[in-house]
Amino acid sequence: MALKPCFLFSVALFFLLNTKSFNEAKLSGTSPAKAPAPAPPTPPLAPAPPTPPPPPPSSKVCVGPCWERCHDIKAKNIRPCMVLCTRCCMRCNYVIPPACKNWTTVTIEGYTYQCP
């Protein structure tokens, strides 16, 4: 008497499934690991503190040749060599906004000079 192919297939499938699950349980030693818990939400970042306002002009304003040169060049709308102006103003803790910038060249009467 011959066994039906359907019966043989179901027996083979039964052994395959049971053997696979048995081997997995034997190798791991425990039940399958659970998925890690999601990370807690991070709190939003605190906003940056506002920038302090520039210091008011005091009695220590830039005076002398440095101030005269910066003021004169600014009045003529010539791109000045502001390294000197900035250094002068920084000595007395007062910077002329937006005049003092660290530019590297100056154009005076059509000629370009390298700043010291």
pLDDT tens for the chain, residues 1 to 116:
566 667 777 777 776 666 655 555 555 555 666 777 888 777 777 777 777 665 444 434 444 445 555 554 444 444 444 544 555 555 444 444 444 444 445 444 555 555 44
Kindly list the distances between the CA atom of residue 82 and the CA atoms of 12, 91, 94, 95, 97, in Å, as whole numbers in the listed order. 89, 14, 14, 11, 12
- Pairwise CA distance, residues 14 & 50, whole Å: 71
Report the number of secondary-structure helices (H) and strands (E) in the chain. 3, 2
- Pairwise CA distance, residues 8 & 24, whole Å: 24
